Homo-oligomer: A and B are copies of this chain.
Amino acid sequence: MSKEKILQLLRSSRTGFVSGADLASRLGISRTMVWKHIKTLEHEGFGIEAVPSQGYRITLTPDLLRQADIKQGLKTRTIGKDIRLFAEVVSTNTLAMEAASQGAAEGTVIIAETQTGGKGRLGRQWISPQGNLYLSVILRPNIPTHKAPLITLVGAVAVASAIRKHCSVPAAIKWPNDILISGKKVAGLLTEMSAEPDRIRHIALGIGIDVNMELQELPQDVRMHTTTLANEAGAKIDRKALVQQLLQDLEHWYRIFLTSEAEVLKEWEQLNMTIGCRVTVSGMGEIFEGLAQGIDQEGRLKVALDDNTIRIVAAGDVTILKR
């Protein structure tokens, strides 16, 4: 696409400038067409300066994700092959589930700049202002339905790994679907599926990461327990590069999962902050307290009560007790 090619040429120019004539001849298009593409880029939020006798120069790159930017240099085979980018959606997961039931391929990624009805686990809300990452990946693993919780674990490993690599902050997994830094929530996962009891049809793995938003965007009670990557890293985060890292880590761990679930569980244990802690667990009409001992082969949490009985937790909310 000529527009993308123009951006590329402008970005790779040593002086910063490329003349309109140069652009036209290198793309094999007219100078009028070059000018039209420049106008489109400006419309997309780029600042482009035109200096007589020197040419065009980028003065401002918009902080919006762009499909072509994400794709350029993305080292994945399946995940992100089809990327669908939206300015605003109700919920990337809802969109992904719809796309999947209409036949969208495994690895299709739905990304949105904001969500008006972002969803958390158990029907909760996921507040979704500008500046963060909201994406959902369609997966079609050939696994029995009772193994679906493992997909959340795969996603959590990928998110924690990508954040650690990209931002050098100590992100850790809280069972089952949160990512925390220093005890504050920075990301969450939502796995939804269409299934029969003995096979999964498709999954939407939803990932929300608080990246660059202002914490004031959040209500007071949520803000207390929330942080952003920018906050933790002390600098604004390059979201495009983070998405690329995330999709790469997700493909990596998903592939490993399909051949060796144990390897994912081992990595999950390395990255988690739940095991070894005293926790209270609530859900399914009861609350109890104990020591989080580990996870079983199906990703369920094993909690040792004070009378030494072991409870296997498939669903529930975990609160980690301060020591």
**Interface of A with B (CB < 8 Å)?**
97, 121-122, 144-146, 148-149, 151-152, 176, 190-199, 284, 298-299, 314-316
Closest to A300 in B: B146
A152-B197 in contact (CB<8A): yes
Q: How many Å lie between the Cα of A207 and that of B193 in the bound state? A: 22
* Known A121-B198, A149-B198, A197-B299; 19 more pairs at CB < 8 Å: A122-B196, A122-B198, A122-B199, A144-B314, A144-B315, A145-B145, A145-B315, A146-B298, A146-B314, A148-B195, A148-B197, A191-B196, A191-B197, A192-B195, A193-B197, A194-B194, A195-B195, A197-B314, A198-B315
What are the residues of chain B within 8 A of A146 when measuring CB–CB?
145-146, 298, 314
Q: Is the CB of B314 within 8 A of A198?
A: yes
Give min CB distance, A103 to chain B, whole Å.
13
- Bound-state CA distance A299–B146 (Å) is 12
A–B complex contacts, Cβ < 8 Å, 14 sampled: A121-B196, A122-B198, A145-B146, A145-B315, A148-B195, A151-B197, A152-B197, A176-B197, A176-B198, A191-B197, A192-B194, A197-B299, A197-B314, A198-B315
**Distance of A162 Cα from B146 Cα, bound (Å):** 30
**In whole Å, how far is A215's beta carbon from the nearest beta carbon of chain B?**
27
Q: A194: nearest residue on chain B (CB-CB)?
A: B194
Most buried by B among A144, A152, A197, A298: A197
CA distance A191 to B196 in the complex (A): 6
Smallest Cβ distance from A110 to chain B, in angstroms?
17
Q: Which of B190, B197, B299 contacts A149 (CB 8 A)?
A: B197
Chain B residues with Cβ below 8 Å from A192 are: 194-196
Taken together as a complex, chains A and B put the C-alpha atoms of A145 and B196 apart, in Å, by 10
Minimum CB–CB distance for A222 against chain B, Å? 21
B-chain residues with CB within 8 Å of residue A176 when the two chains form the complex: 197-198
A199, B317: Cα distance in complex, Å: 12
CB distance from A260 to the nearest CB of B (A): 15
CA distance A193 to B152 in the complex (A): 18
Question: Which of A122, A192, A195, A316 is most buried by chain B, counting CB atoms within 10 A of its CB?
Answer: A195
Report the Cα distance A83→B293, complex, angstroms. 49
Chain B residues in 8 Å Cβ range of A194: 97, 192-194
A298 shortest CB reach to chain B, Å = 8
Q: Which residues of B contact A193 (CB under 8 A)?
A: 194-197
CB distance from A101 to the nearest CB of B (A): 9
Q: Which residues of B contact A316 (CB under 8 A)?
A: 198
In the bound assembly, the distance between CA atoms of A195 and B152 in angstroms comes to 13
**B-side contacts of A196, CB under 8 Å:** 121-122, 190-193
Q: Which residues of B contact A149 (CB under 8 A)?
A: 197-198
B144 to A145, Cβ gap below 8 A? Answer: no
Closest CB of chain B to A41's CB: distance in Å?
40
Cα A121 to Cα B196 in complex, Å, equals 8
Closest B residue to A191 by beta carbon equals B197
A152 to B145, CA, bound (A): 14
Closest to A285 in B: B142
